[in-house]
Structure 1
Amino acid sequence: MPDDIRMSSLPMPSPWAGPLPEAAPPSEMAIYQLPTGTYETRAVFAFKGGSLSDKRPFAATSVLVQHPQGDLLIDAGFGSQVAAHIQTLPRIERAPYRLASTVSEQLKASGYDQSGLCGVLVTHSHWDHVSGLGDLRTPILINEGELRYASEDKGGRVFREVSAGHKINQYQFNDGPYLGFSSSFDMYGDGSVVVVPARGHTTGSVITFVTLPSGKRYAFIGDLTWQLDGIRRRAERPLLLRFLADTDPKLVREDMLRMIALADTMQIVPAHDVTAYDGIPLLPT
């Protein structure tokens, strides 16, 4: 590792040494990625040590979790009105983007019956995670802290628009500690999908842990870091971006260290890293 990157790295936490939480995912359970497009950001703005010449396609990808108790989407990606949603951003934050098929379009193309969806679990309420809600008619799963952020903060403007008419189902972190996080929400009660608070990026942002019948584990970490470099290099966002993008950079750092300690036990998926979804199949059509 180059000296300039090493000097900017977070300290190396001790790898997770305890047992992984028990989970009993049903045999029918599966996950699929639904990529809805990308927008372009330079690595220098994504993580400390990133290069100005390194252009990164930031993913806007939803994940479908199929479960016999009801299917779940993690985030909604870009929607059909994404062009208008980008226009709500300050000019300096607008980036070239590419729209693929929306989640709704992909579900329809596959013959998927959307009545099987129990909801869209948003990792947080920023525009690039919720734009696609406007094309869906399914409940939104959100915790009280994030709903308050989405209702009051300028970062929730698109959410307030696309969530109109949706049923809002609030969940609480009433289950016990999970992998170093103080509390959790076990979506199905079988340990297959467990949500924990990660309140540093927005005040109610979350990480969603998914365990498949094969034993394969994933952590969908939202915008805890924008790229896998944040985990692999132990690299925070650049200083200015930390204070512009995060409500509490200190909490982001603490949760990054927790996830770095878990990196050898599961596949970590930052929402905007295209390569992080490798190995997750596309929805068959």
Structure 2
Amino acid sequence: MSSLAIPDAWTGALPTANPPAGVNVYHLPTGTYETRAALAVQGGSFRDKRPFAASAVLVRHPKGDLLIDAGFGADLSQHMAMLPWYMRSPHQAGRTAAEQLDAVGYDRGRLIGVVPTHTHWDHTSGLDSLHGTPVWLNPAERRHAADEPDSKVFRQVSRHHEIHSYDFGSGPYLGFPASHDVHGDGSIVIVLAAGHTAGSVIVFVTRPSGERYAFVGDLTWQLDGIRHRVERPWLMRKFADKDPASVREGLLRMISLNDLIQIVPAHDLAAYDGIPHLTSGVSS
């Protein structure tokens, strides 16, 4: 296993954030699919079979809620059939994000959008059940989604969704050169972290308690990438990443922040520890 060089820890002040009361974060697990650790991180074992999470994250905010990613959808079998044969892993489907929202009486009118960290199938399949909710894409990811084979499922499930385009006009954020402050109070900040796809993003969330989260999508598939400073295996970098060098740069930035922020790779179940699931008490 070849670890990356240890980056300098972040020593500057954390960005100012003034999240209002009511900002909170909930994990909506929609299922898992099986991946061998040897294909996920350098140094992983072929004997180690990892249950890769497919999840959505609900961020509540008085000015409007967002979903980060959409997880598995109701038509999951159809979506998996659209994938190349070598990507059809054994999987277990749970309740869709839409079913979990409806089960607690959540008013979906509060949702101002779904922000995919990128437009791969396992982050967007659940859009098929989130009718009427806008999908937020930056221009680079919108172009990627329109042309690339790896966004075929996204093109199908997003056909009847409004696409809300956003840019990165809020300046640098924690070492990333460009950001978008969703509500203008620092509680939800989207940064461009291109490399896995052309417009991949990280979503930073700050709660009123001061707890901070970084939902990093597929910057790394597992927390091993952060804790052991390892990239995907060479073959998977060539296969899965649009620009492996940019992914490495983003990974090093996040490693430097590991002691300050709860970093959540989308596919690591353990990374969601401490983030509650939805219950009926949070529907209003």
Q: What interval of TM-score do these two structures reach, taking the shorter chain for normalisation? A: over 0.9
In structure 1, C-alpha distance between the alignment counterparts of 2:109 and 2:21, rounded to whole Å: 21
Partner AA of 2:15 in structure 1? P
Aligned match of 1:265:
260
SS of the aligned residue for 1:149 comes to helix
In structure 2, C-alpha distance between the alignment counterparts of 1:114 and 1:199, rounded to whole Å: 30
In structure 2, C-alpha distance between the alignment counterparts of 1:93 and 1:106, rounded to whole Å: 27
Which residue, 126, 130, 136 being the options, matches 1:132? 126
Which residue, 196, 207, 210 being the options, matches 1:212? 207
Aligned match of 1:230:
225
In structure 2, C-alpha distance between the alignment counterparts of 1:85 and 1:276, rounded to whole Å: 26
Q: CA deviation at 1:165?
A: 1.1
Aligned match of 1:142:
137
Q: CA deviation at 1:28?
A: 1.1
TM-score (norm 1): 0.97
SS of the aligned residue for 2:186 comes to coil
| Map 1:20-35 → 2, pairs under 5 A | 20-35=14-29
In structure 1, C-alpha distance between the alignment counterparts of 2:261 and 2:169, rounded to whole Å: 24
In structure 1, C-alpha distance between the alignment counterparts of 2:28 and 2:169, rounded to whole Å: 30
In structure 1, C-alpha distance between the alignment counterparts of 2:102 and 2:84, rounded to whole Å: 33
Aligned match of 1:64:
58
In structure 2, C-alpha distance between the alignment counterparts of 1:264 and 1:198, rounded to whole Å: 20
Which residue, 15, 27, 43 being the options, matches 2:37? 43
Which residue, 69, 81, 92 being the options, matches 1:75? 69
Matched, 1:151 2:146: yes
Aligned match of 1:100:
94
In structure 1, C-alpha distance between the alignment counterparts of 2:4 and 2:201, rounded to whole Å: 21
Deviations 1:191-223 (CA, angstroms, capped at 9, x unpaired): 000010011000000000000000000000000
Q: CA deviation at 1:89?
A: 1.1
Which residue, 108, 122, 126 being the options, matches 2:116? 122
In structure 2, C-alpha distance between the alignment counterparts of 1:90 and 1:23, rounded to whole Å: 43
In structure 2, C-alpha distance between the alignment counterparts of 1:91 and 1:122, rounded to whole Å: 24
Aligned match of 1:17:
11
In structure 1, C-alpha distance between the alignment counterparts of 2:151 and 2:87, rounded to whole Å: 15
Q: Which runs of 5+ in 1 are unaligned?
A: none
Deviations 1:52-96 (CA, angstroms, capped at 9, x unpaired): 100100000100001011010000000011111111111111100
User: Identity, % of aligned pairs?
Assistant: 59
TM-score (norm 2): 0.98
In structure 2, C-alpha distance between the alignment counterparts of 1:241 and 1:28, rounded to whole Å: 40
TM superposition outliers: structure 1 runs of 4+ over 2 Å:
none
Q: CA deviation at 1:257?
A: 0.3
SS of the aligned residue for 2:34 comes to strand
In structure 1, C-alpha distance between the alignment counterparts of 2:88 and 2:155, rounded to whole Å: 19
